[in-house]
Amino acid sequence: MKGLYKIILSFFMMVCLVGCAFDLVSVKQVPTKLDTGQPPKNPFVLGKETSADIGTSFNTTLKQGTKWQYVGVIPEGDVYKTRDQVLTVEASNIHEAYIVVSSGNLVGFYLPVEKTFAPISQKMELAIQAVTPE
Amino acid sequence: MKSVRMLCVVIVTFILAGCATTGPKFNELSPTISNLAPDTGRIYIYRTTILGAAVQPDVKINGEVVGSAVPQGFFYIDRAPGSYEILTSTEVDRKLTLTLDKGEIRFVRLGISMGFMVGHVYPELVENAVGQSEIQECRYIGK
């Protein structure tokens, strides 16, 4: 009889843990404020594909040859967006994202709907190729 | 034994027929789809897979039910530019947040992943070229 209780208890614990696991992963975000009032910066083209780790099991890839337009600035860096690819950061939920660049390095993502900054695990140097604004 | 097999075939046929999505295919309907109003954008929402066909949760946009996650079905909504949250609920909520600009067209695919009791339907933003290609064989389920 004791053995049966143990089995039932184990089953319920497993159910609870599995239930929690479905919502375990979320994108780490901090609130931030986008300032769009600064003088615009030049767009750039990404010379090399870059894959960034945001601490979830899903990497976010910036494709080679994509053109990035300046949107504004947040305390963590300059914010750029592109129309050349869909860019999202993903965990249990998926969020559209812009990139945040500081001193030529990708430092994280700006989530325009949430108005938050999602840092990447380790900053990454971007292969920035300057282009003249249209 | 033969009659059992026949019965199984009949049952499976009924189940599959029940799952079949009706309505015109995208490529049949697209010539009649209205043009975008000048100050709006459009979001196409579609589901290609028939995996987990019985799981057809509502699709909500900013809390408003706009359709269902019907296998091989699609619908679209026109909205003012702004920020949107697309949500599906089964055992858990799965959401996608995206922006929509004036004149912009976006494609959201409804995928399915494994759940504990039922599968989880999740919305994901896809490239327009991918969405445009995948939606062709889906059938219109909008109102």
User: Which residue range forms the structural domain that includes residue B115?
Assistant: 22-140
Q: Which positions ≥6 away from B142 have C-beta within 8 Å? A: B67, B74, B75, B76
Cα separation, A95 vs A27, in Å, equals: 9
Distance from CA of A89 to the nearest CA of B (A): 10
Q: Which residue has the higher pLDDT, A107 or A24?
A: A107
Instruction: Give the DSSP letter string of B85-102.
Output: EEEEESSSEEEEEEEE-T
For residues A85 and A44, the answer to whether their CB atoms sit within 8 Å is no
The chain-wide mean pLDDT, for chain B, equals 86
Of A37-51, A120-134, B75-89, where does mean pLDDT reach its minimum? A120-134
Q: Which helix (H) or strand (E) holds B83?
A: strand B82-89
The chain-wide mean pLDDT, for chain A, equals 88
For residue B57, being part of any structural domain is answered with: yes
For residue B94, being part of any structural domain is answered with: yes
Instruction: Give the residue-averaged pLDDT of A107-128.
Output: 96
Instruction: Give the residue-averaged pLDDT of A49-63.
Output: 91
For residue B11, being part of any structural domain is answered with: no
Instruction: Evaluate if residue A22 carries a pLDDT over 60.
Output: no
Q: pLDDT of B14-71, one tens digit each?
A: 455 445 677 889 988 888 888 899 999 999 999 998 887 888 899 999 999 999 999 9
Q: pLDDT of B68-77, one tens digit each?
A: 999 999 999 9
Alpha helices in chain B (DSSP H): 2-19, 26-29, 128-134
Q: What is the CATH number of the domain that holds B122?
A: 2.60.40
For residue B58, being part of any structural domain is answered with: yes
Q: Which of residues 85-114 of A touch B (CB under 8 A)?
A: 85-86, 88, 90, 92-96, 111-114
Cα separation, B99 vs B82, in Å, equals: 6
- How many domains are contained in chain B? 1
Q: Please judge whether B122 and A19 are an interchain contact, meaning their C-beta atoms are less than 8 angstroms apart.
A: no
For residues B115 and A22, the answer to whether their CB atoms sit within 8 Å is yes
Instruction: Give the residue-averaged pLDDT of B117-130.
Output: 91
Q: Please judge whether A113 and B85 are an interchain contact, meaning their C-beta atoms are less than 8 angstroms apart.
A: yes
For residue B1, being part of any structural domain is answered with: no
Residue B31 pLDDT: 83
Q: pLDDT of B100-122, one tens digit each?
A: 999 999 999 999 887 777 788 99
Q: What is the ipTM of this complex?
A: 0.81
Cα separation, B13 vs B60, in Å, equals: 32
For residue B50, being part of any structural domain is answered with: yes
Instruction: Confirm or reject contact between B85 and chain A (CB < 8 A).
Output: yes
